[in-house]
Structure 1
Amino acid sequence: MSFDVYIQDMEAHVDLPHWQAARAKAYEAHIAGISQDKVALTLKSGDEVELFDQGQHAGCMVALHSLTPDVCAFLFDLVDHSGLFMLPTIAEPRAVRARNNPRPPFPDRSLQELEIADGAELYAFLSGGYDAWSAYRDQQVGAQKQEN
């Protein structure tokens, strides 16, 4: 099980070459190793994430198995360098964007935007949702162990 965040464009404001350059910049700053299938990433801190990128358009889905300041610094850099939005899977969803991003607002007005300045702010924001997900995951894993 993973805690998933989606990094995506809305209304095609970011083209694929820009996304690829932004992703490469974030990888250079944070990634120490990439699996052969290019999905599993090991951060320089030792944390691991899985990044799913179809390579056909700007954006990706990132599966988190832990939430640390270093993971959030990597996620922030993906959002900041690319100009994309982050849509985390949390109880009260927000469209997260880098504070200095000049792009147009998120088109779905029913989803509140949250501007963040850095990975530390992203970590503070995601921690509550991640903690709730972790508790649910642990409950489900515990129930499965009792069934066996």
Structure 2
Amino acid sequence: MSFDVFLVPSSATPGGPEARAATDGALLLCGARRAHPDQDLVLCTGEEVEFYGADDDPGGMFALRGGLSPELAQVIFEIADATACYIMAADESGAVLRTPGNSGAPLLADEDAGDEDEVAREVIPVADPAELAQRLMGGFEAWSGYRDGIGTQAPPADEPNSLLGRFWSRLTKRS
């Protein structure tokens, strides 16, 4: 289970080798690097972060599990800025965050409508990694509260011997 932060391409986002070069340049600026071919990243602190994205395709997804460190916020910010991608968290706000280097329009599909047209969403400028972390923190804290609460919930009272009830009892015994 993770709190997901997406890099969403804009109309100004480069593709192909330019996208990979922009990402690699941002990693170098942060003292970070790719961990191995499946795109995980190693921050300057040695922390490994899950990142899913194709080598030459813009955008991707960070799967945050442990926390949102200043170093991770800087990597997300710098990659988004270098690739002119918007930042969008898997939270209830639906807002997209724009770094100063992004001059493009967001290219977001309305999944509920099933079309590929641009969707009107609130675009919020973020000036630096600290402001990005502040904007993401509310969604991250809500997610981590949910994550932490899963292991403390009791099994359904009417189904103690069901598959779900047995799962919950094993899960709560570990806590």
1:80–1:12 distance in 2 versus 1, CA, 3 Å: closer
- Aligned CA RMSD, in angstroms, stands at 2.2
Alignment length, in residue pairs?
A: 147
Q: Which amino acid aligns with 1:88?
A: A
Partner of 2:17: 17
Deviation at 1:142, TM superposition (A): 3.2
Write the deviation string for residues 3-61 of structure 1: whole angstroms up to 9, x where unpaired.
11111214574322232111101221235454334333220123331111123521111
SS of equivalent residue, structure 1 residue 71: helix
Among 132, 138, 141, the alignment partner of 1:131 is 141
Tell me, in whole angstroms, the C-alpha distance in 1 between the residues paired with 2:72 and 2:134: 12
Give the TM-score of the pair, scaled to structure 2.
0.73
- Asked if 1:53 is matched to 2:53, the reply is yes
Identity of aligned residues (%): 29
Secondary structure class of the residue paired with 2:102: coil
Distance 2:7 2:92 in 1: 17
Which structure has the larger Rg over C-alpha atoms?
2
Letter in 2 for 1:120: A
Q: Which residue in the other structure is 1:103 paired with? A: 104
Match of 1:88 in 2: 89
Q: What is the identity, as a one-letter code, of the residue corresponding to 1:90?
A: D
Unpaired runs of 5+ in structure 1?
none
Residue 8 of structure 1 corresponds to 8
AA of the residue aligned to 1:5: V
* TM-score normalised by length of structure 1: 0.85
Letter in 2 for 1:68: S
- Counterpart contact for 1:31–1:41, Cα < 8 Å: no
Task: Find the aligned partners of 1:90 and 1:40 in 2 and give their Cα distance.
Answer: 22
Gaps of 5+ in 2: 108-117, 154-167
Cα displacement string for residues 87-125 of structure 1 (whole angstroms, at most 9, x for unaligned residues): 11111121111134222356311x111111110000110
Question: In 2 relative to 1, CA 36–56 (structure 1 residues): closer, same or farther, beyond 3 Å?
Answer: closer
1:142 partner SS: coil
Structure 1 residues 31 and 51 mapped into 2: Cα distance closer, same or farther (>3 Å)? Answer: farther
